[in-house]
């Protein structure tokens, strides 16, 4: 963030000196003009790539919570009783990727798997990578994520939970959400219960999870339009933006508590709280549709965050502090349940 401010300051000073006709004493007028053009271009690029916030005033994201709730309760069967989580790894991501305009410091993130517990079955949401993929993608290169800890024991617990689960879901097709399936020694068994949409299967970023080609080739994906009820209390909601296969997952427990898994629409709750989209450079690096993301963030802000009547709990995939808050108040368990 300091580097961007320094670039901006130098560009502004250079531009106004030239505007006032005060060339640098050691440069010709032509060179000064060139420096001014380059500085202005750099200033514009810095603003466009790091600062520009693309959030509409009104959202066109077509999500009707009443329709979703009616679908969730349409099956007369036992609702899930608990929601648990398991942190597979932790890391740090640059502030200028997470939020347009940056933040005072980088963000601490978690790579988490969630377990929906029914009376007689479980459903797993999100399956983070193994140690090999973690080491590959969390090296904190100039544009990447810094790995801080990988919990091998938790990864093994997740693998066992996947084998015991009735179904396996992901919010989108990125390596840190389904790498635990792609790299599992039990991949053939897991794929029989994994629910990927056609958009997720064909998404160009799924290749980074290193699925065996023959496994994906023979996989038959789920096709649905806007909503799909998978199980009592659990509804899938199409939401392309962060990736072409992104979806929200609505969950209602038997005690009435409601959750909305939003994947990476918001890397951190700050994206919703402050109505700040991902930076343009972050969008380019991850092939995101910034326009769709802006409409989804606006919808979440208007209909949930700023709506005092709405009690649904937003669950991001990577906001470690927010997850720890849910642990603290007992809303989400911090360990998986053994069936």
3-state SS, one letter per residue, for the chain: CHHHHHHHHHHHHHHHHHHCCCCCCCCCHHHHHHHHHHHHHHHHHHHHHHHCCCCCCCCCCCCCHHHHHHHHCCCCCCCCCEEEEEEEEEEEECHHHHCCCCCCCCEEEEEEEEEEECCCCEEEECCCCCHHHHHHHCECCCCCCEEEEECHHHHHHHHHHHHHCCEEECCCCCHHHHHHHHCCCCHHHHHCCECCEHHHHHCCCHHHHCCCHHHHHCCCCECCCCEEEEECCEEEEECCCCCCCCEEEEEECCCCCEEEEEECCCCCCHHHHCCCCCCHHHHHHCCCCHHHHHHHHHHHHHHHHCCCCCCCEEEECCEHHHHHHHHHCCCCECCCCCC
In a domain, 113, yes or no: yes
Q: Are residues 23 and 124 in the same domain?
A: no
In this structure, the answer to whether residues 220 and 84 fall within a common structural domain is: yes
- Is the same domain home to 151 and 39? no
User: Of the candidates 51, 74, 92, which is a domain's last residue?
Assistant: 51
Phi, psi angle pair for 327, to nearest 5°: -60, -45
- Asked if residue 6 has pLDDT above 70, the reply is no
Of 88, 86, 104, nearest in space to 96 by CA:
104
In a domain? residue 59: no
**pLDDT at res. 149:** 96
What is the per-residue burial (b if ≥16 Cβ within 10 Å, else e) of 49-71?
bbeebbbeeebebebeeeebbeb
pLDDT (tens digit, 9 = 90+) per residue, 284-295? 777 889 999 999
**Range in 18-22, 69-73, 277-281 the model is least confident about:** 18-22
333, part of any domain = no
The total domain count for the chain is 2
Which percentage of the chain shows pLDDT scores above 70? 83
Same-domain status, 82 and 159: yes
- Report, as an integer, the average pLDDT of 183-190: 96
- Answer whether residue 276 is part of any domain: yes
Residue pLDDT, tens place only, 75-91: 777 899 999 999 999 99
| Same domain flag for 89 and 21 | no
Same domain assignment for residues 161 and 13? no
In a domain, 107, yes or no: yes
> What angle, 0 to 180 degrees and rounded to 10, lies between the N-to-C axes of helices 2-19 and 29-46?
140
CATH (domain of 322): 3.60.15.10
Query: Do residue 44 and residue 101 come from a single domain?
Result: no
> For residue 116, what are the β-bridge partners?
83, 123
Q: Kindly state whether residues 235 and 133 are assigned to the same domain.
A: yes
Domain co-membership, 229 together with 310:
yes
Q: pTM surpassing 0.85?
A: yes
Cβ–Cβ under 8 Å, residues 260 and 315: yes
CA distances 261 to 98, 104, 250, Å, are 18, 26, 6
Query: Which range among 31-35, 87-91, 259-263, 304-308 shows the weakest confidence by mean pLDDT?
Result: 31-35
Q: Residues 30, 149: one domain?
A: no
Cα–Cα distance for residue pair 334/85, rounded to 1 Å: 5
Residues 112 and 257 in one domain: yes
Same domain, yes or no: 89 and 118:
yes
Q: Is 56 domain-assigned?
A: no
In a domain, 74, yes or no: yes
Q: Check: CB of residue 233 under 8 Å from CB of residue 80.
A: yes
Over residues 296-333, the pLDDT tens digits come to 999 999 999 999 999 999 999 999 999 999 999 999 99
Does some domain include residue 79? yes
Residue 224's domain spans which residues? 65-328
Structure confidence by residue, pLDDT tens digits, 50-76: 666 789 999 999 999 999 999 999 877
């Amino acid at each position: 963030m300091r580097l961007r401010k320094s670039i901006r300051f130098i560009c502004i000073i250079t531009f106004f000196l030239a505007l006032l006709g005060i060339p640098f004493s050691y440069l010709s007028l032509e060179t000064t003009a060139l420096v001014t053009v380059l500085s202005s271009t750099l200033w514009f690029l810095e603003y466009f790539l790091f600062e520009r916030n693309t959030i509409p005033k009104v959202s066109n994201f077509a999500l009707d919570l009443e329709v979703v709730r009616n679908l969730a309760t349409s099956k007369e069967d036992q609702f899930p009783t608990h929601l648990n989580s398991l942190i597979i790894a932790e890391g740090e991501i640059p502030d200028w990727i997470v939020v347009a305009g940056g933040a005072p410091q980088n963000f601490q993130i978690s790579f988490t798997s969630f377990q929906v517990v029914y009376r007689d079955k479980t459903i797993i949401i999100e399956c983070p990578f193994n140690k090999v993929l973690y080491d590959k993608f969390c090296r904190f290169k100039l544009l990447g994520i810094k790995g801080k800890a990988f919990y091998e024991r938790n990864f093994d617990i997740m693998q066992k939970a996947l084998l015991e689960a009735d179904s396996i879901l992901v919010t989108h097709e990125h390596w840190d959400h389904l790498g635990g399936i792609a790299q599992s020694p039990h991949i053939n068994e897991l794929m029989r219960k994994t629910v990927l949409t056609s958009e997720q299967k064909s998404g160009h970023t799924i290749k980074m999870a290193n699925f065996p080609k023959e496994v994906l080739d023979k996989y038959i994906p789920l096709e649905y339009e806007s909503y799909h009820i998978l199980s009592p209390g659990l509804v899938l909601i199409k939401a392309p933006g962060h990736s072409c296969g992104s979806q929200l997952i609505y969950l209602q427990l038997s005690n009435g508590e409601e959750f909305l898994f939003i994947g990476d629409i918001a890397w951190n709750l700050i994206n919703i709280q402050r109505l700040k989209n991902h930076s343009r450079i972050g969008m380019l690096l991850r092939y995101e549709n910034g326009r769709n993301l802006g409409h989804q963030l606006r919808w979440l802000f208007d209909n949930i965050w700023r709506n005092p009547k709405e009690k649904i709990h937003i669950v991001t995939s990577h906001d470690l502090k927010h997850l720890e808050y849910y642990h603290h108040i007992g809303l989400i368990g911090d360990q998986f349940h053994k069936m």
